[in-house]
Amino acid sequence: MTVYGDLIGQDRAIGVLRRAASAAAEAVAGGRGAGMTHAWLFTGPPGSGRSTAAKAFAAALLCPEQGCGHCDACHQVEVGSHPDVTFVRPEGLSYGVRQTRELVLKAAGAPTLGRWRVVLFEDADRVTEQAANALLKAIEEPPPRTVWLLCAPSADDMIITIRSRCRVVTLGTPSTEAVANMLATRDGVPHDVALDAARAAQGDVGRARRLALDEETRRRRAEVLSIPRSLTGVAECVTAAERLVKTSTEDADAATTALNEVETAELRRVYGEGSTGKGLNKGLVRGGAGALKELETMQKSRATRIKRDSLDLALLELMAFYRDVLAVQFGASVELANEDRRHEVEAVARASSPEDTLRRTDAIMKCRERLAANVHPQIAVEAMTLALRSPGVVHRG
């Protein structure tokens, strides 16, 4: 299997990357490093494989065979240990100018082992305005052997001066059948279960795997999808909002607690806490307290981001449910994301009008906008659940 084996349903993008890796190898062999495109922007919806494609391309640039998938270079890129590949994964809500300047300095160095120094920047859309300007300067005048691989949901998420200097690789949403086949062949998931998971994930390969393999993920999805039929009164709307926000908080805590403990312990060790021997402190050495405070700030920002991402995923689940309701109301011949819950979708469709459904989808989108604008989650979600209930639509079917 080549390095592109994990890209599902992305044949067109794979073809572009194969040709580019081959051209890059020829340019190096001919002493023409300057002929390589030094800035790439990978775009696509969640789960389409933006970072997967970027990592595969990084391996192909460093592999003697342009991405064989089994040599030392390919393996090192895959596990994140190749000295010529820098992985950037913004942990918090944004990526600041100081971090970006440090990254630019690091990227300016010559390759250690391979033919290129590669910077793979996931969630590049999280850079602040000042950070984007610092990044722009590096992309405009890159060292001859440095390649920037930026990942973002869409080209419009990057400032125009950056995206105009990048070659854009657009990934599409994989088909349901392609994702289901992947789950069945690679993970041994029964085909009917794989199909339901692929439909529910709407092309998000990672989400589909979690739905197919993790009982807790399926339970949380079921809890979210129970909300439309539970909104029978104001008290039920408030309760549903509390439950949704609480679940998102618990998800964030579960995802960050263990990681925070490891990071904090490692930082304390680096700054000498607990060290023994003559002249050594048992507490943090000078500078350690400041570093620890900076780490705690980053961890809080990361927890906030994960909480928002978890809540946004729940809102997208609700959006998909009402999209299915609208499809049934109009008799559209489209695949339902919630085919496994068709009876619930049809019950809500019978008890409401298309106008009601459109109003509800608007309420969900408004909630997402409010959350992005830092409105308190409980207030934003309560307003949404109340809007999903009114005007007087009965959901018990």
Nearest to 114 by CA among 87, 70, 147: 147
Q: State the pTM of this model.
A: 0.79
What the block records as the tokens of 10 is 């992305």
Rounded distance, CA 257 to CA 378, Å? 22
Q: DSSP letters of 174-214?
A: PPHHHHHHHHHHHH---HHHHHHHHHHHTT-HHHHHHHHH-
Q: What pLDDT was estimated at residue 396?
A: 42
Q: What pLDDT was estimated at residue 247?
A: 83
Q: What pLDDT was estimated at residue 114?
A: 76
Supply the mean pLDDT for the chain.
87
Neighbours of 366 (CB within 10 A): 14
Share of the chain above pLDDT 70, in %: 91
Neighbours of 186 (CB within 10 A): 12
User: How much helix, strand and coil, in percent to the nearest 5, is found in the chain?
Assistant: 60, 5, 30
Rounded distance, CA 386 to CA 363, Å? 9
Q: What is the pLDDT of residues 26-56, one digit of tens each?
A: 888 776 555 678 999 999 988 889 999 999 9
Q: What pLDDT was estimated at residue 84?
A: 94
Question: Between 176-187 and 205-213, two packed helices, what is the crossing angle to 10 degrees?
Answer: 50
The two beta strands, 117-121 and 39-43, are: unpaired
Amino acid letter for position 377 = P
According to DSSP, residue 35 is labeled G
According to DSSP, residue 95 is labeled B
Q: Residues in the chain with pLDDT < 50?
A: 279-280, 282, 392-397
